[in-house]
Every structure is written in structure tokens, then in C-alpha cells.
Amino acid sequence: MKRAVFPGSFDPFTLGHQDIVMRGTTIFDEIIVGIGINTEKQYMFSLDQRKAFIENCFKNQPKVRVVSYQGMTIDFCKTVEASYILRGVRNNGDFEFEKAIARTNRKLSDIETVFLLTSAKTSFISSSIVREIIRNKGDYTQLVPSCVRI
């Protein structure tokens, strides 16, 4: 079975994230959306909210499950027996950052990273932009799946 972990904080989960997961289901037998827990980080949405948002998005997609984890992503991958990490890349900056992490993960484990380019229609969306729009009471609904409406 080809199992991949799609890791992130998903604060909140965006249309870009959803696009990567759905396209990933055509490549992998199972995708585990891994919500990483970083106790140093201030989140807009609680872990329970983020998990519920994502589970609701994929409630009819049997190839996707949602799990939270702490620690290194490669250790989580080993725990869930995933041989791949799935990552979305929006631009050159993302690629350079993700490439360094992928090479480090590869050095420390046998886990391979697979990059998917974001679609043109979602390439400008980031969770930090969505959070800023929400904080300022703007209309964020065009940037997130309907399951992430507050």
C-alpha cells in the first residue's frame, strides 16, 4: 500500500490544502492528513476545530484520514507506516524551504517526499493570509472549503 502523510498545522485548512490532498488520492492508496502539534505556536483554531474541519471535508473520501501528532514528521510517518510525505509547493520560496526539509528527512530516514505544484487557482492562498482576513472580519469564504466556515 502506498501511504502518504500530508503534514501541517492547517490553521486553517484552505482550498490549496484540499486540492493537494484530492490530487494526491490519485497517486496514493491512502493519505493521512497529519496535524502537527507545536506547543510553542499560537493557533487561531483549536486542534479539535482543525481536526473537525478537515474530517468534515473528507467525510466521503475513504482514502483520507486525519490524525494529530507531536514530534518529528518522519517519526510520525514510521508510526503510521507511511513511506511518503506529500507536500504542496506554491512558489520558488516554498520549493527551497521544502527541498531542505525533504533532503534532511531523506538523510534521517527512508521516507520519500513527493511535491505537487499547487493549481494556479489556489497558488496565492496561505493559511496566514486567511487568518489575517478573519482577524479583520473580511470575507475569507472564497479561500477555504465550505467545511471550514466559522
On whether the CB atoms of residues 15 and 145 are closer than 8 A, the answer is yes
Residue in 131, 136, 141, 139 with CA at minimum distance from that of residue 43: 131
| Known catalytic membership, residue 121 | no
Predicted local confidence at residue 34, as pLDDT:
98
Active-site residue (options: 90, 99, 106, 131)? 90
Residue among 13, 105, 110, 2 at smallest CA distance from 66: 13
pTM of the entire predicted model? 0.95
Active site residue 3: no
Q: What is the per-residue pLDDT for 39? A: 82
- The answer to whether the CB of 78 falls within 8 A of the CB of 108 is no
CATH numbers and ranges of domains, the chain = 3-148 (3.40.50.620)
| Residue 106: active-site member | no
CA distance linking residue 131 with residue 150, whole number of Å: 12
Q: Is 17 a catalytic residue?
A: yes
Rounded distance, CA 59 to CA 66, Å?
A: 10
Segments in the chain below pLDDT 50: none
- Smallest Cα–Cα separation from 1: which of 32, 23, 22? 32
pLDDT for residue 38: 87
Single-letter amino acid code for the residue at 48:
D
Q: Which residues pair with 130 in a beta bridge?
A: none
pLDDT at 26: 97
